[in-house]
Homo-oligomer: A and B are copies of this chain.
Amino acid sequence: MFLTLDLESEEPIYTQLKHQIIAGIAKKEFSPGEALPSVRSLASDLGINLHTVNKAYQQLKQEGFILIHRQKGVVINPDGVAKADDIYWTDLTAKLRPLIAEAVCRDVSDEDFQKLCSQIYTEFQPKE
């Protein structure tokens, strides 16, 4: 597991965990069905409380990234992540709008913005 935390960040720990696990799935560092550490062991490894890990896991489960078997453990969703639906697009649009509004204010062109997005996309390209 290569999860690192920035305890100085304003981003809550459980959010950092969520983002890193989602990034790991995007980068194919985690395979469908692969087991994730238990809440206790991950909390122990990172030096944080088990409830913080549990909160991240619960939300990842709610959003379909992982499955949690009551007395087994936590695994990356074997069926993969649900495709983009209407709710997802609406949500993503709401998150992008303020970013693009500021970009417009700062004279960032549509093309420059897309260039940055494409560059970030390449970060999640599986290494050949």
Interface residues of A (CB under 8 A from B): 19, 22-23, 25-26, 65, 81-84, 88-89, 92-93, 95-108, 110, 113-114, 116-118, 120-121, 123-124
B107 and A123 contacting across the interface, CB-CB below 8 Å: no
B97 and A23 contacting across the interface, CB-CB below 8 Å: yes
A118 and B114 contacting across the interface, CB-CB below 8 Å: yes
A120 and B100 contacting across the interface, CB-CB below 8 Å: yes
User: A104 to chain B: closest CB distance in Å?
Assistant: 4
B116 and A89 contacting across the interface, CB-CB below 8 Å: yes
Given A116-B96, A117-B110: A101 and B19 within 8 A (CB)?
yes
Q: Name the one of B22, B95, B107 contacting A101, with C-beta atoms under 8 angstroms.
A: B22
A107 and B83 contacting across the interface, CB-CB below 8 Å: yes
A98 and B19 contacting across the interface, CB-CB below 8 Å: yes
Given A98-B19, A116-B93: A124 and B106 within 8 A (CB)?
no
Q: Name the one of B98, B104, B107, B121 contacting A113, with C-beta atoms under 8 angstroms.
A: B121
- Pick 22 A–B contacts, CB within 8 A, sort by A: A19-B97, A19-B98, A22-B102, A22-B105, A23-B97, A23-B98, A26-B100, A26-B101, A65-B105, A83-B106, A84-B107, A88-B106, A92-B99, A96-B120, A97-B120, A97-B123, A100-B117, A100-B124, A110-B121, A113-B117, A113-B121, A114-B118
